[in-house]
Amino acid sequence: MPGHTENEIVIAAPMDLVWDMTNDLRGWPQLFSEYASLDILQEDGGTATFRLTMHPDENGQIWSWVSEREADPVTRTVEARRVETGPFEYMNIRWEYEENPAGTRMRWIQDFAMKPQAPLDDDGMTERINTNSKIQMELIRDKIEQRARARVGA
């Protein structure tokens, strides 16, 4: 069975701020704790191809890959996929944003399958993604809410 995850969080901030901060690819190394760098390889309107490089993992391994991402500000959705799949047979991610009485709901849906020689199987990667998504979403929420508070106080 291929892997599938769905994670979401409500951010007490306006949609435009959440959208702008989470779609500012150049700012991802400051927004996510896991990314050491992001290099834009190609941009065309709402579509970008970029290389992400992670901080070393617990074994000192540095993971890096190329992804493609298309943001649609009208539907407030993003479709992304790994171009260099690494240990994945495929990895597709959908970001959804929705206004909510408490702010903005951000949802990540990931569909993937691991290669047979990958260090984790589909179940193991599902667990890792669910654990890490919660951590990253909470970090992103805190940074965006801090920026929203600073704007109100300005």
Which whole number is the average pLDDT over 55-76?
A: 94
Give me the domain span that covers residue 94: 3-153
* pLDDT tens by residue, 82-132: 999 999 999 999 999 999 999 999 999 999 999 999 999 999 999 999 999
pLDDT at 57: 87
pTM of the prediction?
A: 0.94
> Which is it for the CA torsion 12, 16, 21, 22, positive or negative?
positive
Model confidence at 8: pLDDT above 60: yes
pLDDT at 154: 56
Residue 151 pLDDT level (bands cut at 50, 70, 90): confident
CATH code at position 11: 3.30.530.20
What's the structural domain count of the chain?
1
